[in-house]
Structure 1
Amino acid sequence: MLTTDVGLGNQAILTKIDKLRELNVGTIVPLPQLIVVGDQSSGKSSVLESLTGFSFPRAAGLCTRYATQITCCRDLRKSVAISIIPRPDADESLKSQLLKFRFHSTEINNHELSEVFEAANKTMGLRMDANDDNAGVGAFSEDILKIEISGPEHAHLTVIDVPGIFRLPTPGLTTESDVVMVQNMVKSYMKNSRTIILAVIPCNVDIATQEILRLAEAADPEGVRTMGVLTKPDLATEKATQNMVLDLVLGKRNKLTLGYCIVKNRSADDNASTMSERHAAEKAFFMAPPWASVADRCGVTSLQARLRELLMDISKRELPHVRAEIEKLLHSCKLDITALGAPRADQGSQRLFLGKIASKFQGITQHALNGYYTGDPIFKSEPSLKLATRMMQLNESWSDLFLEKGHKRHFDPQWDDEEVVSSLHKNDQHPFKISLTKHPELSDIICTDEYDCPSPSEGPIIDHVKEVFKSSRGPEIGTFGGAILATVFEEQSEKWEPLALWHTSRVIALVHDYICQLLDKLCPDTQVKDQLWSTFLDEKLRDAYRHAMGHARFLLSIEREGRPTTFNHYLNANLQKKRKERMSKSFKDIAVPLDNDENDLYIPVEKIDEYVLNKDNAQQICDDIVDTLMSYYKVSRKRFVDTLCQQVLNHFLLDGDEGPLKVLSSESIMSLEPDQLEIIAGEDTASKRQRQNLAQEIERLEAAIKVLRA
């Protein structure tokens, strides 16, 4: 064995990587490593024996059924320690059993070693011969046998041996599934970008037929981390075969950046020679032609030096990246286990878990309703949760739309322009899109069709009022009955119903979407969230939305179907203003200029008499109806818009104690029955397993961080 020390700093790096592998970190973060792969009977075990100085048992079937990690360390005293690293998915019982397997000795013979390997195979539960009739026992294992060798002649080196590739199962011992399992195991080791692949190939076979090279090329297409190790050169007796091997070593037929090395195996019958005797025999063999021309790439000593160099290079280069990946993964695992919350095995923990969600929900919702968007960082990442802002945009745009198009027929153009000009188009009528069909559970409560409000019809409204008066007048003399005003008002306000119900539906959809979105953020556990909806929230929310829609319809019936009523002095002020405007316009029509000055007009007395006399009773009544209708419509529209926003939207949907935003509260969680708690917040088997897996992974990763920081 080569005795050159790798240096204390370098040895510390390699030791850290070995400890990370012991923690099974290599199953989740790729680690720098050397793996020895090859077809069965390729001489793989002999290469490992030459590299490590460890004599594997020669009995058939031993040390080929699982990955074997062999670590050589320099020490003044000789020792061998053998243990098992459990497979990643081992349950606690099996893991405890595997970890109990330990062997340590300073002197060991082949017979004793065979017994140790047999005991390891039994502990892993392997089927070693055709006489084993236990159908549940496998021939291969994903556990790792760890062998630590110390002695003064060793330098630090870790290599991993994986089972040899084979194509045909052995009846009674291996199956087709074992063939696939071994291939997948080998592939999983080879695909690691931090793995140096030692592909062992006998010199006396056609390289093109070697399965291992095909697998290596698939894992390392550029050939930058694969080294070929040619074995059994003493069996390459033909000149053509020897020349082919030399061409590979010299790079003439070589696709591998790391090239090829040649080592000589001990014969199958050689059980007595020592390691030093084998090295001497190998050295003498390669001094003879044709191998002397490539002596620097021949022999185990040359291979050891090259492998230590490669392992050290990749370890130094990749260790900072390994640490960064471990830290990132640890952070992610902690976030995932935090999202699961505390374990929920009893009523107290279940109620506390849901109570925290409800408390957080109410806190954020109060900020959303008050427009206090700096109160929680969620508003920065989820701007659609700014509920107060979105409600103001919806209400203002709807109010403007109601003002512009809410009446069926245009009033007097002067009256129309009076308010419309000052506020029309002040806001976009569609500030943002709200889908009314996004949530199927609302389809039987809200109006799911968009309402495109038509513009008021053109033409003087007085003509329509005259028709209604003719068909509906009563016995009144010189005036009109309240029924006529109610009739024309109900007709003039017929678009109020679709406008009000459409707007209420939009606000319900907005509130419901807010609740869904916020709950998604506060409760990432899909099962808990789904149970919370189906068991508790769904029907209560639907009831709240029904109340809101019902109250909107109630307000519509009060305003449109009842007797026109108001005690607002604004009605009389509007009515007098309209009468004054009508009279003023009529007088202007009969005014004449004084001294031909168009700006100085007067009305002759005889003209006034003509104006009064020419206006019949029916026309006067119809003018009064129009004036009253316009004045009352203004008062009613403003009252209805404000009442709908205040009562239906603000009270029933936003602020009321029975509103949808108050359904999920700490009080409601406290009122849940024990069976409801278990259904909603009880952990299922999958959640418990996920929590357990995350806890185990966090434990491994934290231990890995300690190793890296040491």
Structure 2
Amino acid sequence: MAKQEAGLGNQSILTKIDKLRELNIGTSIPLPQLVVVGDQSSGKSSVLESLTGFAFPRGATLCTRYATQITCRRETWEGISVSIIPRPDADDDLKAELLAFRRNLLAFDNDDLALIFAEANEVMRIQEDIYDDNLGLRAFGQDILKIEISGPEQTHLTVIDVPGIFRVATPGLTTESDVIMVRNMVKSYMANQRTIILAVMPCNVDIATQEILKLAEEADPEGVRTMGVLTKPDLVNEKATQVAIMDLVLGKRNPLKLGYYVVKNRGADDSTSTISDRFTAERAFFMAPPWTAVAERCGIQALKASLRELLMTISKKEFPLVKADIEKDLQKCRTSLEAMGPSRSNQTSQRLFLGRIASNFQNITQHALNGHYSSDPLFDTIPELKLVTATIGLSETLSDIFWKRGHKRHFSSESRNEGSDETPFDYYTDIYPELDDVICPDIYVCPEPQEGRIEDHIKTIFKSSRGPEIGTFGGTILATAFKEQSEKWEALVLAYTSKSIVLVHTYIGKLLAAVCPDEQIRTQLWDTILFEKLQSGYRRALSHARFLLSLERNGTLSTFNHYFNSTLQKKRNERQATVFEGMRTDSDHGAYILLQDLAQMTIDKDNTQQVCEDIADSLESYYKVARERFVDSVCQQVVNHFLLDDKEGPVKVLSPDLILSLDDEKLDLIAGEDAISKHQRHTLEREAEALNEALKVLRGN
């Protein structure tokens, strides 16, 4: 009983795989199968007839013009069913016509089968002979003729027959392109890693030179799924040839792990014998030497039993993997269809499609600006989407470079920073040529501040522009010194802003590609509405950066920050401390200065030196206040506001409101489906439907 149940289970697996093949799943997912290949006139048709019990009608050539799937099933009733499995790229009308073709016979009848084959030939647009002058016909096709043979004596076996390889075209019937097409068709079936290759070759040729073996070796280099089938042994009379064949069958010079079998074909003039007659004649033939030495590998019954076991073994082994492949492909189809969105045949569906893209874009952007990177897996796969992290890092770099190198000359009191010139805001305009007329074209190299006493340079400025003041200095002198001391600010800020724009531009491009995988829609969306608005946003940021520069460097020097006065007093105290150092007296209780000495203290300086020192102290005090204020203003206003937070800024451009404002013409231009997209959607839907049906078959639904 257990053995019988196992047999039923095995038959169920084979039946399911046959149904998958009917759904054309085998075109995308390798299925376990037996494929018979060989040259024309190799005896391939006779082998198939003996294996399946199906004799192709005499005079019919269609069985050699396309792949033929022959399935034997054990049933209580007898019959033959002929149908067509359409090629994958058949359009809907042709597919319906091919699927509608189905013919049934209760028994084998040569004339009836010949008529059925002729009808199938007409449906598949196959040229039957050289007298067909219809230009719409072909010599070979990619549809599959399906033949099902049922009967109580049958055992489950499915064999795929492919056209025999030929090398010379027949004028009026085949062409050189047909030679190549058949060869490629045979190679495609052999390439399937779940296929057992039955390489059919006649005994009366040099096996080593057979092209079919070379093709099998290309597809199966290790020879683990190729079986040799030697035909026409009755035509071999030479002793040496018989020995060579024995060596092959015995495995003495056999690279094929599945080995060789020998079968005897029916004679060319034998048109009356039955299958039973031929089996009897074959057994009698192999009972004579030298075939008795390899009796277990001679005859169609031995071959059939071995093939049935092979097919069952590979089917049981690969069945779970086939199911996993189908689930994987179905998920890919669904993902692709989801990325395409719903059908966009009218303005409502088009607006809804783009609205979803815009909403997704803004949701992710909100997370990017808040640093909530765990909210979407895109942040892990696309590092450029971590926008706020990148801009904060850039702003810190600006602050650092301003502190170290933003001034033209070193102040007397500050420490020096060793190092070469820096390019803290490098970006490459060749990556985004569309930004050439927006951002600064040149990369700024920031040099070290100049050495030397800044008081000496201030003295030069003072002498060239002093007024009538006595013991003081006019505001223009401090403004002139500050403008010169801050002359690097413009290049640094414009380079920083340009780099920030590049970061934002990269972010928008990467995110748009992620939320809108359709390149055509993305390109139309970008070119039609986005880029012009992005350029406007970038220019507003640069314009505000220039406004802040002008305000800080060209306007009236002004501050209400108490830090300015405290720094100025500290600078003056430092200068006085130098004088105090020479007046102090050391004692056991510490150092001290007499009050009367302080009252009589004078510093030997001329008026110009004193004024220039006051200018230097005021300049350094004001510069530090202005520097901190300016850096914060640039980072907060130019980048944070104009590039990131402004509701009309670049990262806020693609919004649902923008999509709602589009007129019908622009909407259709951006989101309307062209013929290619419609075809792609249709193909994906058909593939998903077939894969879904395949899963139902595997689950037994």
Q: Give the TM-score normalised by structure 2.
A: 0.94
For 1:653, which of 622, 643, 654 is the aligned residue? 643
For 2:669, which of 675, 679, 688 is the aligned residue? 679
For 1:599, which of 591, 595, 607 is the aligned residue? 591
- Look up the match of 1:703: 693
After superposition, the Cα gap between the structure-2 partners of 1:242 and 1:568, relative to the gap in structure 1 and judged at 3 Å, is closer
The answer to whether the Cα contact below 8 Å between 1:37 and 1:164 also exists between their aligned partners in 2 is yes
Q: Distance in 1 between matches of 2:6 and 2:43?
A: 28
- Look up the match of 2:546: 553
Q: Deviations over 1:580-625 (max 9, x none)?
A: 4434433444x252779871222645x755616x443333322222
| Residue type at the aligned position of 1:622 | C
| Residue type at the aligned position of 2:203 | C
The answer to whether the Cα contact below 8 Å between 1:350 and 1:678 also exists between their aligned partners in 2 is yes
1:633 lines up with 2:643 in the alignment: no
Q: Deviations over 1:401-442 (max 9, x none)?
A: 2122211122231xx36xx99xx99xxx99997656532222
After superposition, the Cα gap between the structure-2 partners of 1:226 and 1:576, relative to the gap in structure 1 and judged at 3 Å, is closer
Q: Distance in 1 between matches of 2:348 and 2:5?
A: 61
Q: Deviations over 1:635-686 (max 9, x none)?
A: 2222211221222112111111221111111111111122211222122222
SS in 2 for 1:224: coil
TM superposition shift of 1:50: 1.1
- Look up the match of 2:50: 50
| Residue type at the aligned position of 1:669 | I
After superposition, the Cα gap between the structure-2 partners of 1:403 and 1:222, relative to the gap in structure 1 and judged at 3 Å, is closer
Q: Distance in 1 between matches of 2:6 and 2:455?
A: 106
Q: Distance in 2 between matches of 1:608 and 1:250?
A: 124
For 2:466, which of 470, 473, 482 is the aligned residue? 473
The answer to whether the Cα contact below 8 Å between 2:80 and 2:150 also exists between their aligned partners in 1 is yes
1:14 lines up with 2:21 in the alignment: no
TM superposition shift of 1:380: 3.3
| Residue type at the aligned position of 2:298 | C
Q: Distance in 2 between matches of 1:434 and 1:143?
A: 56
The answer to whether the Cα contact below 8 Å between 2:83 and 2:147 also exists between their aligned partners in 1 is yes
- The gaps in structure 1 that reach 5 residues or longer are none
Q: Distance in 2 between matches of 1:241 and 1:298?
A: 17
- Look up the match of 2:316: 316
- Look up the match of 1:450: 443
- Look up the match of 1:219: 219
Q: Distance in 2 between matches of 1:611 and 1:164?
A: 117
- Look up the match of 1:150: 150
After superposition, the Cα gap between the structure-2 partners of 1:431 and 1:315, relative to the gap in structure 1 and judged at 3 Å, is farther
The answer to whether the Cα contact below 8 Å between 1:251 and 1:259 also exists between their aligned partners in 2 is yes
The answer to whether the Cα contact below 8 Å between 1:47 and 1:265 also exists between their aligned partners in 2 is yes
Q: Distance in 2 between matches of 1:696 and 1:99?
A: 15
Q: Distance in 2 between matches of 1:578 and 1:230?
A: 106
| Residue type at the aligned position of 2:602 | Y
SS in 2 for 1:455: coil
Q: Give the TM-score normalised by structure 1.
A: 0.93
After superposition, the Cα gap between the structure-2 partners of 1:101 and 1:408, relative to the gap in structure 1 and judged at 3 Å, is same
TM superposition shift of 1:33: 0.8
After superposition, the Cα gap between the structure-2 partners of 1:215 and 1:560, relative to the gap in structure 1 and judged at 3 Å, is same
- Look up the match of 1:325: 325
For 1:611, which of 599, 602, 625 is the aligned residue? 602
Q: Compute the RMSD of aligned alpha carbons.
A: 2.4
Matches within 5 A, 1:73-112: 73-112=73-112
SS in 2 for 1:374: helix
- Look up the match of 1:177: 177
Q: Distance in 2 between matches of 1:432 and 1:631?
A: 28
- Look up the match of 1:366: 366
After superposition, the Cα gap between the structure-2 partners of 1:644 and 1:281, relative to the gap in structure 1 and judged at 3 Å, is same
| Residue type at the aligned position of 1:496 | W
TM superposition shift of 1:23: 0.9
TM superposition shift of 1:300: 1.5
SS in 2 for 1:611: coil
Q: Distance in 2 between matches of 1:641 and 1:460?
A: 26
Higher mean alpha-carbon deviation, 188-197 vs 578-587, is at 578-587
Q: Deviations over 1:450-505 (max 9, x none)?
A: 33322222222211111111111123333222211111111111111111111111
After superposition, the Cα gap between the structure-2 partners of 1:259 and 1:616, relative to the gap in structure 1 and judged at 3 Å, is closer
- Look up the match of 1:694: 684
SS in 2 for 1:34: strand
| Residue type at the aligned position of 1:451 | Y
Higher mean alpha-carbon deviation, 237-246 vs 174-183, is at 237-246
Higher mean alpha-carbon deviation, 565-574 vs 679-688, is at 565-574
Q: Distance in 1 between matches of 2:588 and 2:214?
A: 113
TM superposition shift of 1:16: 1.1
Matches within 5 A, 1:558-597: 558-589=551-582, 591-593=583-585
Higher mean alpha-carbon deviation, 65-74 vs 327-336, is at 327-336
SS in 2 for 1:453: coil
SS in 1 for 2:593: strand
